[in-house]
Amino acid sequence: MNLRRIATAAAVLALAATATTAPATAQTKLKGTVGPGFTITLTQNGKKVKRLKPGRYRITVDDKATMHNFVLRGPGVDREITGLNFVGRRSATITLRKGTYTYVCTPHPTMKGSFTVR
């Protein structure tokens, strides 16, 4: 009896251990664009990002002009994802916390957008 109970308990513990080691590293994907005109965007599944939950995000930016950059700023983040003189695609993994974030092209500060994390 006791041995059987111990064996059952051990099996339950083994299952629990398996469950808790499942990967929890999934990152939500966001897409940014800047240029070729004076536009900057940040979208998720084709929709403009307005509000997100805290967590880790993979942001991929298509930079279409040398005169623009894509900079993300907010709580814990001040990151130039693509720079001036660069044309092409760059990705960054970023942790977003509660607050307001702004994405901007720093030489043309009217090119900007923002979203809230909460």
Q: Write out the residues near Cu ion by the rule CB under 5 A.
A: 68, 105, 108
- In the complex with Cu ion, the residue whose CB is nearer, 39 or 43, is 39
What residue type is 41 in one-letter code?
T
Q: Taking the complex as a whole, how short is the minimal distance between the CB of residue 28 and Cu ion, in angstroms?
A: 26
Q: Taking the complex as a whole, how short is the minimal distance between the CB of residue 69 and Cu ion, in angstroms?
A: 7
Q: Taking the complex as a whole, how short is the minimal distance between the CB of residue 57 and Cu ion, in angstroms?
A: 23
- In the complex with Cu ion, the residue whose CB is nearer, 92 or 105, is 105
Q: Where are the beta strands (DSSP E) in the chain?
A: 28-34, 40-44, 47-48, 51-52, 55-63, 70-74, 77-82, 88-96, 99-104, 112-117
Backbone angles phi, psi at 100, to 5 degrees: -110, 130
- In the complex with Cu ion, the residue whose CB is nearer, 52 or 65, is 65
